[in-house]
């Protein structure tokens, strides 16, 4: 039924244009469609309607009464189609419209929220619908234009394209009060004596992959005292001396500056997280989505560097 409907719409377009130009020959030159095809399509439309639309002879071209009436409807259809084409054309020329962005709740708070106002100022014709959720988002099923993701590895497939934004360092940190209570934490053996805090993980296993300066890697398994999907909850618990926690450099900058948190295990490092944008390969990028992707790629690294400079210096001291 659907392909047949498309044929009717195209026949209506051809009839409207033939009527507008007043002859098949003039319509042929204007549209670049052979006269024989135009005549065949109009005749097909007449058979479908069961009426004569054009009274024609070698020297005469005129619309019938039914043709005059039907033309009014065809012109409205053609006008709406042309307006639709113009609207899409404008959309392709300048960034405008709504962009649906998905990200984890913590990533939204720490990464997106600081730079979103600047994007809206730079692109007044574009709106953002930010979907902050900890559930797995389906780009296609959830009608998402772009997703900001954070993880040790980039998840890419034939259907999903990605743009890497930046690597962000992670640190194990604790409150000075906890170190004062339990002593120094400079070795893995000492770390085992400390309570830990961590985000939820698939399967419930909690492992920190640690890398030594001499190239060794150790998977440190632990059972957290506190598990939460909300990084801010873990951070506040760490402030209170509840345990050692893994946090990104962006989150601990102010804490290092204020002395609320200090790095532990200085001779070991954590694998950086990769921050990247994912979008469907099949959809292509509209100007508004492209503007958002380019803005994040250009702005977020510098924002993280400014915020993380103090954390990096503190960790190194």
Interhelix angle 249-258/231-239, nearest 10 degrees: 20
pTM score, whole prediction: 0.61
Q: pLDDT band for position 58 (50/70/90)? A: low
241: region left, alpha or beta (phi > 0 left; psi from -120 to 50 alpha): left
**Common-topology check for domains 2-93 and 97-169+274-316:** no
- Asked: is 170-271 a CATH 3.60.110.10 domain? The reply is no
Q: Summarize pLDDT for 104-139 with one digit per residue, the tens.
A: 988 898 889 999 999 999 999 999 999 999 888 888
- Between helix 35-49 and helix 2-21 the angle, nearest 10°, is 120
Q: What is 97-169+274-316's CATH number, 3.40.50.720, 3.40.50.10140, 3.40.190.10, 1.10.3720.10?
A: 3.40.190.10
Enumerate the domain spans of the chain.
Answer: 2-93, 97-169+274-316, 170-271
Distant-in-sequence, close-in-space partners of 177: CB < 8 Å, separation ≥ 6: 241
Q: Are 55 and 62 in contact (CB under 8 A)?
A: yes
CATH 1.10.10.10 at 2-93, yes or no? yes
Task: Please compute the mean of the pLDDT values over residues 28-44 and round it to a whole number.
Answer: 90
Q: What is the pLDDT of residue 152?
A: 78
pLDDT tens column, 283-313? 667 889 999 999 999 999 888 777 654 443 3
DSSP 272: P
């Amino acid at each position: 039924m659907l392909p047949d409907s498309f044929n009717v719409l195209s026949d209506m377009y051809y009839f409207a244009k033939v009527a507008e130009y007043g002859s098949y020959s003039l319509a042929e030159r204007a549209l670049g469609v052979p006269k024989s095809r135009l005549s065949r399509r109009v005749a097909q439309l007449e058979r479908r309607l069961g009426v004569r639309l054009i009274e024609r002879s070698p020297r005469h071209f005129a619309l019938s009464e039914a043709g005059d009436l039907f033309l009014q409807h065809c012109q409205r259809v053609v006008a709406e189609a042309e307006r639709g084409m113009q609207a899409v054309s404008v959309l392709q020329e300048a960034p405008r419209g709504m962009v649906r962005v998905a990200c984890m709740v913590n990533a939204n708070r720490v990464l997106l929220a600081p730079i979103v106002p600047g994007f809206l100022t730079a692109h007044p014709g574009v709106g953002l619908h930010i979907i902050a959720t900890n559930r797995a988002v389906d780009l296609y099923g959830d009608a998402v234009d772009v997703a900001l993701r954070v993880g040790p590895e980039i998840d890419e497939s034939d259907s999903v394209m990605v743009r890497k934004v930046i690597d962000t360092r992670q640190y194990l940190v604790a409150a000075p009060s906890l170190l004062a209570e339990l002593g120094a934490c400079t070795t893995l053996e000492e770390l085992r004596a400390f309570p830990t805090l961590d985000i939820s993980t698939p399967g419930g296993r909690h492992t920190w992959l640690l890398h030594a300066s001499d190239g060794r890697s150790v998977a440190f398994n632990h059972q957290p005292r506190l598990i939460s999907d909300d990084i801010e909850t873990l951070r506040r618990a760490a402030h209170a001396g509840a345990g050692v926690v893994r946090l990104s450099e962006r989150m601990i900058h102010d804490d290092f500056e204020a002395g609320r948190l200090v790095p532990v295990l200085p001779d070991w490092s954590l694998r950086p997280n990769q921050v990247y944008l994912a979008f469907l390969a099949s959809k292509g990028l509209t100007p508004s989505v492209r503007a958002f992707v380019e803005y994040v790629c250009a702005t977020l690294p510098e924002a993280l560097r400014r915020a993380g400079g103090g954390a990096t210096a503190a960790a190194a001291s």
